[in-house]
Structure 1
Amino acid sequence: MGCFFKLRQMEALLDQWLWRQEYWLPPGITWKDIKTSGDSRYPLPRDLLITLPLALGFIALRYIFERVVAVPFSRQLGVRDRIQVRAAPVPKLEAFYTQNSRQPSQSEIVILAQQCDFTQRQIETWFRCRRNQDRPCNTKKFCEACWRFVFYIVAFSAGLTSLIDKPWFWDPKECWNGYPYQAIAEAQYWYYVMELGFYWSLLLCVSVDVKRKDFKEQIIHHIATIFLIGLSYCGNYVRVGTLVMLVHDSSDFLMESAKMFNYAGWRKTCDTLFVAFAVVFLVTRLVVFPFKVIHSTLFLCLDVFDPFFGYYLFNALLLLLQALHIFWAWLIIRMIYKFVFMGKVERDERSDEESEVEEEDEEQEEEDDDKEESSWEQGKGALNSKFTTLADNCVLKNLTKQRNNTSSRFPKAR
């Protein structure tokens, strides 16, 4: 009884400060005007409370899925983890590594060498080896990509099935026909809450997932997406909101599938999927999203209501999302340009590692291996390096994401 009373208090507090009707509804419209009646369901803020337990359920389901399905599947596809040499246990160096810096400066290396009675070369080698231990293995990255692929393909299929026969799927003007008195179907309601619950789970797991160079951009993306889904539901922007989610899901599952085959070493399959992903991403994020969806929310809706707080906030978040699309699209286009017109691709600009120093470590190890290889193998490795970088580019790593550690199978040419 006490728990129920606290929930009612929390709901009343949210209604008073966060869900004020003048924030999220056009002038002259109240929450009482938008309510569930008969067989029709209308969006209400309290409906979103279910997304938090859903997020916890997604996390638990992911834990089971990765161990029961993803790991055995990765072995079937041939995913192999690189064998890492563990750093020798040196308490002083370990304390410096965990408490100060993963990459000591030259002056710090000198001091550590004196304290541990090591040479500077031994100190540098120890820190490189220690950083390698913290690198995510291919199996971990494959499991993350596999989990996201399954969700995105299911979400895209469900969303397309529920929207393809709706008039606003073909004509954005229909998104505002009868607004805000627009009932939502049960399928669209679950499409909304499942997407929101999933992005909550991604945000909650961001500290344990593989970290990448665009870590901050990913955090911004998740937060903006959560706000967009939640606020669009509260303001009954459900029709245009379903279009936004469908546009994003259409390319995300291609990206995750390409990463899966990348970690498994299936080069041609990965390249084909990446090309498909790049085409779909550029078309949906740079053409459909701004010229159809954002144009509708910025201009077409003004024929139905006057601007209010929710209008400005919703469009600001959409424009923020579009800025991230342009950032990622620029990285894709630049990488493709270098590959097609310059005949080479620089190292992935959005890798799984937390710093560029670790990339240099891997390059050094590969250069050491090159000393024992023939010139024919070096040329072969150079060719494979181009396709590997193309497949494992900044956006291919998750938009998410991840650099191909299997390159050790074919050492790069000097």
Structure 2
Amino acid sequence: MDLLPDIWREDYWLPPGVTWRDVEQLADSERARPRDLLIALPLALGFVALRYVFERFFAPPMGRCLGVKNRIQATAAPSPKLESFYTQRSRQPTQSEIVNLMSLCGKTQRQIETWFRLRRNQDRPCQTKKFGEAAWRFFFYITAFTAGLACLIDRPWFWDLRECWRKYPVQIMERAHYWYYMLELGFYGSLLLRISVDVKRKDFKEQVIHHLATIFLLSFSYCANYLRIGTLVMLLHDSSDILLESAKMFNYGTGWRRTCDTLFVVFTMVFLVTRLVIFPTKIIHTTLVLSMEDFKPFPGYYFFNVLLMVLQVLHIFWAGLILRMVYKFMKGKLEKDERSDEESDVEEEEDNNGRNVDQGGDHCWERSKDKLNSQRSMLTNNCVLNNLTNHRESVADKMRKAD
């Protein structure tokens, strides 16, 4: 029963020498109160509902304008036994399991492998669904970034980071910053609520960690009145996310390859500068070093910086994926999307020779078949030419002997 009061001990949340009474000198509307966070849950549910309306009525016409089309895929023939194995055991059977299924279903190995390939392709998310998700995040990030920049650009701590700690923690909270915090918190809450039904990415675990770390970071920084540095962290992250989601949107359309590549190059530069340069050298340096010019370390100080370090580790992980993709792009060997929007193992069936990871299995087979036919034609032509050459040389030899 005494655990809850202990959570709010002053030495956990506030620097030494500062008490809750000092913070309570401000009016209720001028200071951050922990109970304000309760509004984040209805906001998260509101974002889920708003996203449903957006993806249902607004994203489809936008996708049609960009040429987003769903592929026509061959469906796997009905097979109760194979379907039961697929849903209950594995979507990618091993060689020994395929042998058992051959005797169980009376099919050849090629037929079973083809059935599982087609069945996996059926579960792949369609282009319009992926476009709708990217478009929704793009419009939120660009709205949040624009609003955040508008309410921060004329604030002193936007230009001088030492202002983040001036008179801390007795700092007046502006209403615009309150709503900036709550809307960002509600949005990331909605992403966490929807993550199980969204398109599953290869970095699914990292995305979950990122959303949880962000929610904890926003909640703790709000309660501890780290509002000034918190707003800068949100603004910094939204700046590159806008470019990433816009690149995805054009990637799912047809005829926008050059636009997509350009946006991705710009995104790469902005991501590397903001996440690997500005974030550690400015934000983390500010919370680790500059904040200690006026205060001594306390538990909240360590907890806040640990959360920032978790985000930085994720930044390094994603930067590795992005740089690997850039390297393949420069070498002209880009086989599949290494970015954080790459889908899970259901995508492994796709064309490894194309730059678009969204080409279907049937299309891959057609391209391979065309390539095979082309090579066979070249081989045939070479054989014909060789035969003609040999025949001509033989005739010439006979003519010389006759002479």
Establish whether TM, by shorter chain, passes 0.5: yes
* Residue pairs, 1:1-400, within 5 angstroms: 15-16=4-5, 18-35=7-24, 37-38=26-27, 41-265=30-254, 266-340=256-330, 342-350=331-339, 352-355=342-345, 358-360=347-349, 362-363=351-352, 365-371=362-368, 373=370
Matched letter for residue 282 of structure 2: K
Residue 70 of structure 2 contacts residue 126 of structure 2 at CA under 8 Å; is this kept in 1?
Answer: yes
Matched letter for residue 57 of structure 2: V
For residues 47 and 14 of structure 1, do their structure 2 counterparts lie closer, same or farther at Cα, with a shift above 3 Å needed? farther
For residues 372 and 114 of structure 1, do their structure 2 counterparts lie closer, same or farther at Cα, with a shift above 3 Å needed? closer
Distance 1:231 1:38 in 2: 20
Distance 1:135 1:21 in 2: 51
Residue 31 of structure 2 contacts residue 173 of structure 2 at CA under 8 Å; is this kept in 1?
Answer: yes
Cα displacement (A) at 1:13: 8.6
Distance 1:121 1:173 in 2: 67
1:79 aligned counterpart, secondary structure: coil
CA RMSD of aligned residues (A): 2.2
Matched letter for residue 275 of structure 1: V
Residue 145 of structure 1 contacts residue 259 of structure 1 at CA under 8 Å; is this kept in 2?
Answer: yes
Bigger Rg over Cα: 2
Distance 1:359 1:199 in 2: 29
For residues 164 and 14 of structure 1, do their structure 2 counterparts lie closer, same or farther at Cα, with a shift above 3 Å needed? farther
* Deviates most, 21-30 or 131-140: 21-30
Cα displacement (A) at 1:339: 2.6
Distance 1:362 1:94 in 2: 25
Distance 1:34 1:66 in 2: 43
TM-score by length of 2: 0.85
Percent of residue pairs bearing the same amino acid type: 65
For residues 354 and 336 of structure 1, do their structure 2 counterparts lie closer, same or farther at Cα, with a shift above 3 Å needed? closer
2:326 aligned counterpart, secondary structure: helix
2:30 aligned counterpart, secondary structure: coil
Cα displacement (A) at 1:368: 2.1
Matched letter for residue 347 of structure 1: K
Matched letter for residue 54 of structure 2: F
Residue 261 of structure 1 contacts residue 267 of structure 1 at CA under 8 Å; is this kept in 2?
Answer: yes
Cα displacement (A) at 1:40: 5.2
- What residue number does 2:401 align with? none
Structure 1 unaligned blocks of 5 or more = 1-11, 379-414
Distance 1:69 1:13 in 2: 51
Equivalent residue pairs, number: 364
Distance 1:373 1:309 in 2: 65
Residue 45 of structure 1 contacts residue 234 of structure 1 at CA under 8 Å; is this kept in 2?
Answer: yes
1:29 aligned counterpart, secondary structure: coil
Matched letter for residue 239 of structure 1: R
Cα displacement (A) at 1:360: 3.4
Cα displacement (A) at 1:60: 0.5
Residue 202 of structure 1 contacts residue 222 of structure 1 at CA under 8 Å; is this kept in 2?
Answer: yes
Cα displacement (A) at 1:28: 3.4
Matched letter for residue 92 of structure 1: K
Structure 2 unaligned blocks of 5 or more = 353-360, 376-403
For residues 19 and 92 of structure 1, do their structure 2 counterparts lie closer, same or farther at Cα, with a shift above 3 Å needed? farther
Distance 2:77 2:370 in 1: 28
TM-score by length of 1: 0.83
Matched letter for residue 193 of structure 1: M
2:23 aligned counterpart, secondary structure: coil
Cα displacement (A) at 1:25: 1.6
Cα displacement (A) at 1:270: 1.1
Cα displacement (A) at 1:352: 3.7
For residues 371 and 98 of structure 1, do their structure 2 counterparts lie closer, same or farther at Cα, with a shift above 3 Å needed? closer
Deviations 1:328-351 (A, max 9, x none): 1122222222332x3322422356
